Structure 1
């Protein structure tokens, strides 16, 4: 990515005319971000720019009473990537429509001058933006005008980085106890799956995990040994793409899917009407129309990649909310998947109840069902 030198220069010039961090803020603390960088930040941070709008998933879990009180700017992806979830928050907090929005660092559309004018205590970025910021030397330039950048990660290596990321945000927000409460809840819910599997040691079905099925005409994006690929393993399955995709994300050839003949197919989806209007994607998420989601899921299984596949013959086909892949809520997806893969073993596990408890304890908007469906669902 090449950020405009003119824009950065203008931002630095503007900063010289502005009082840096003129608002009330705490004393400086040092945090070690997810990349190992030691960063000095005023804490508790009172003005925060979110490098991704979906970072509201963790912000809301910590600042539950006033989730937008620190947010002075955010990337414009929440509405596009999770329209239903965005509308839930918009209905309760209509002021979010006025929060300044930014483009992405990776795409080179982040407005540095606008960010400087907002005088944030910190900019929180996802770790996947680091290469782009390094290439532009943006972190060093922002540091000169006393705007620190902190990296977190819920996407590239969520099992390794979710808890540390929550602790980082807890420290920045002065919400350490709340962060620990969330971490303990997440651990407890994952162990309800892992401890049962360790005791029973069942045979592990083969799972084809399709990323964003129907988002485009291409087939089939999937996950390697991380993210949803790792969720499959934790839930008691074998990830078909584990030996095919070397990193977190990649593609599986349709012929490979047919030859592998998976026992289950799980497709990730969301309401992507603003990205791909009227697309073939499966619109699961908050308050989703499950009947419509099942229709679209069934249609995806008619593509050549799934011809004669055991999972389709047996109707062991499911869709799950895509945004579990980039939030600290992954434990709910793991429970749903465990119940699909081992229904007898997890007969008493209720992922729906877990999701509802997550909302009641940690989130400021009402819970609505619709985050996953299976072809065999009755409702």
Structure 2
């Protein structure tokens, strides 16, 4: 085939895929809030409203996850130091990317953002109120910079798939986004289908503590969304669902004692830059599991925990906190299902699932350390 014929065939193949945006095409996209936004796609210059958004943008730009990123919020290193260092070792250029403060705390520098000439700014939905109140949307629109919202945190199980599809549209990686969504949904169904077919299933009551040991206060938790929803999908009963009306909130030690949960799951990460030497449980990529287990056991010595069923039976676990804010929730769901129903999910291997995710989609290698338990063999 001649070069001209090959070019003609390639053009015809693109015309046969009308859902894919042509290079430099201005399209209207609908973000997770329902806003219609005009964006030139595929975008080449992107500002991430949160540094940890690299968890999902990197799944689409696997070979060069920072090639479009011209600025990002300064949270990645502080909130996930182990993960940050793994990315930094492989992609040292990321240390030179300009950083921003947050919209919610009013430290976002709009003038700096304009000078970087982004094609789009990607914001988490939890920053929407602050963004609107400050007038950032209108100010940025005047200089031709669109803002789109995604959500992997407030209503993660509802908004993860459309958020990934939106980023796929913006990046010109729609087929890759669909491949990710398919894998994401299939892995969740491995849990939900088996639970649906199980007879006489007894659902344990689960207290999931958000960032246990991060502060001396007890205890942050989740309502009907985020990890609270994941617990329910994994075949448990979220202890705090009727106590906390929204996604995030707190419970007191007396409520934990009264509920007497069957299982306790604590979220944690390496927060040395936030709370140096804190009591938090440092699970995450490459974590010291022995140290994490020791710190988890220490947390169970606090008032409200010592005499509950979960602690007496050893059904106490720690899980990587960052599952609450990325599209890898299916790994957390599988691990929690295995903890809550060990016999039903004896053959399920969440570590293997996470390894496959890294091999197929992510720009860095897998490092174990995301989960620990006090009961041996779990």
Superposition pairs of residues 315-354 of structure 1, within 5 angstroms: 315-354=314-353
Q: Among residues 179, 182, 192, which one is paired with 2:180 in the alignment?
A: 182
TM-score normalised over the length of structure 1: 0.93
Q: Which residue does 2:303 correspond to in 1?
A: 304
Q: Are 1:210 and 2:209 counterparts?
A: yes
Q: Distance in 2 between matches of 1:60 and 1:134?
A: 28
Distance 1:86 1:51 in 2: 16
Once residues 120 and 26 of structure 1 are traced to their aligned partners in structure 2, the CA distance between those partners, rounded to angstroms, is: 14
Question: Is 1:72 aligned to 2:87, yes or no?
Answer: no
Question: CA separation in 2, counterparts of 1:307 and 1:258?
Answer: 9
Q: How does 1:96-175 map to 2 (within 5 A)?
A: 96-175=94-173
What's 2:15 paired with? none
What TM-score does the superposition give when structure 2 sets the normalisation length?
Answer: 0.93
Q: Is the 8 A contact 1:316 1:374 kept in 2?
A: yes
Shift of 1:27: 2.1
> How does 1:210-359 map onto structure 2 within 5 Å?
210-359=209-358
Equivalent position of 1:4 in the other structure: none
Shift of residue 364 of structure 1? Answer: 1.2
Q: In 1, Cα distance between the equivalents of 2:122 and 2:132?
A: 15
Task: Decide whether the 8 Å contact of 1:268 with 1:319 is kept in 2.
Answer: yes
Confirm or deny: 8 A CA contact 1:139 1:149 kept in the other structure. Answer: yes
Q: For 2:76 and 2:176, how far apart are their aligned partners in 1?
A: 24
Q: Which residue in the other structure is 1:20 paired with? A: none
Report the number of matched residues: 355
1:239 deviates by 0.2
> For residues 84 and 28 of structure 2, what CA distance do their matches in structure 1 show?
32
Distance apart, 1:376 and its partner CA: 1.9
CA distance, structure 2, for counterparts of residue 287 and residue 244 of structure 1:
35
How many Å separate the matches in 2 of 1:353 and 1:378? 17
> Aligned partners of 1:269 and 1:377: how far apart in 2?
19
Q: Distance in 1 between matches of 2:251 and 2:282?
A: 22
SS in structure 2 of the partner of residue 267 of structure 1: strand
SS at match of 1:62: coil
Question: What is the CA–CA distance in structure 1 between the aligned matches of 2:351 and 2:124, rounded to whole Å?
Answer: 28
Aligned partners of 1:52 and 1:74 also within 8 Å: yes
Instruction: After superposition, give the CA deviation of every residue in 1:299-334 in whole Å (9 maximum; x if it has no partner).
Output: 000000213000000000000000000000000000
- For structure 2, list consecutive stretches of 5 or more residues without a partner in the other structure: 1-22
Determine if contact 1:258/1:307 at 8 Å carries over to the other structure: no
What is the distance in 2 between the residues matched to 1:200 and 1:331? 20
Distance in 2 (CA, whole Å) between partners of 1:282 and 1:291 is: 11
- Match of residue 191, structure 1, among 189, 213, 227: 189
Shift of 1:378: 5.9
For residues 223-243 of structure 1, give each alpha carbon's deviation from its aligned partner in whole angstroms, at most 9, with x where no partner exists.
Answer: 000000000000000000000
Secondary structure of the structure 2 residue equivalent to 1:74: strand
